[in-house]
Structure 1
Amino acid sequence: MNSRNPSVAKARTEFADLPTTARVSIIVAAAVEVTSKIAAWVDLYRRPADKVRGPKWAWAAAQLINGFGPAAYWSFGRK
């Protein structure tokens, strides 16, 4: 923030400044994301390689892509 120009708006919103509904939504979304990644990794670890489309290491790495990785694995990765 430019301290010499008071008309410059604060460009960054702090988490604590968000409304309660927004904070709860962010926390729930993060929890769902982490849970889906862990569930996909556990399923991938337990599932035999012949029951997975493509290399298991690639699906494990794909879980690092937020939102897309777990959804893609559950939709397309399993035979």
Structure 2
Amino acid sequence: MARNTSWNELSVVARWRIAVMGIAQLALQFVALRDLVKRPALEVNGPKSAWAAATFINFLGPLAYLAFGRAKKK
């Protein structure tokens, strides 16, 4: 089994990539959760609590909510 690499052993480029991806994940989750809180339940496809939990799944959850969780405005 391979040994895990510690933070200090990573290159500067690898550290920046991890930081940028983490910031992108947090930004997506913030946008999705903010929209979910402000949107009435009738304008959400499915239960709001399930979508809130789904936003904690890296990238996929917030993107799924933004693409499929919001009902079309009439």
TM class, shorter-length: 0.7 to 0.9
Percent of aligned pairs with the same residue? 43
In structure 1, list runs of 5 or more residues that go unmatched.
1-9
Residue correspondence of structure 1 range 1-79 to structure 2 within 5 A: 11-79=3-71
C-alpha distance in structure 2 between counterparts of 1:21 and 1:39, whole Å: 27
Higher Cα radius of gyration: 1
Tell me what 1:4 maps to: none
C-alpha distance in structure 2 between counterparts of 1:46 and 1:38, whole Å: 12
Task: Considering Cα pairs closer than 8 Å and 6+ residues apart, tell me whether 1 or 2 has the greater RCO.
Answer: 2
In structure 2, list runs of 5 or more residues that go unmatched.
none
C-alpha distance in structure 1 between counterparts of 2:8 and 2:68, whole Å: 38
